[in-house]
């Protein structure tokens, strides 16, 4: 079965995204942040990643560089 919307999406996004593991410094929230988001913010952290606000508590949401970058088209936690 073909999905014309997905076919069109893949034509414009032929490569999987890079996902960076982010971890809150104030609570236990973690999430994967897509490269388009990372690239949209200035790299304020020493490691060259942007400091993002935690969506759960408003704390400092920072890239966990010990986690390998994932290459995936969908969100890694939602990939089947």
Residues that bind Zn ion (CB under 5 A): 24, 26-27, 29, 54, 56-57, 59
Contacting residues for 4 by C-beta, under 8 A, at least 6 apart: none
Nearest to 16 by CA among 53, 58, 69, 68: 69
Q: How far is the CB of 31 from Zn ion (least distance, A)?
A: 10
Host H or E run for residue 53: strand 52-53
30/72 with CB nearer Zn ion: 30
8/64 with CB nearer Zn ion: 64
25/73 with CB nearer Zn ion: 25
Q: How far is the CB of 52 from Zn ion (least distance, A)?
A: 11
Q: How far is the CB of 45 from Zn ion (least distance, A)?
A: 16
Residue 76 C-beta-side C-alpha neighbours within 13 Å: 18
């Amino acid at each position: 079965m073909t999905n014309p919307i997905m076919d069109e999406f893949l034509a414009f996004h032929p490569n999987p995204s890079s996902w960076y593991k982010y971890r809150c410094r104030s609570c236990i929230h973690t999430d994967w942040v897509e490269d388009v988001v990372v690239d949209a913010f200035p790299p304020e952290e020493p490691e060259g990643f942007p400091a993002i606000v935690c969506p759960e508590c408003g704390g400092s949401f920072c890239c966990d560089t010990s986690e390998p970058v994932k290459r995936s088209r969908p969100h890694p936690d939602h990939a089947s």
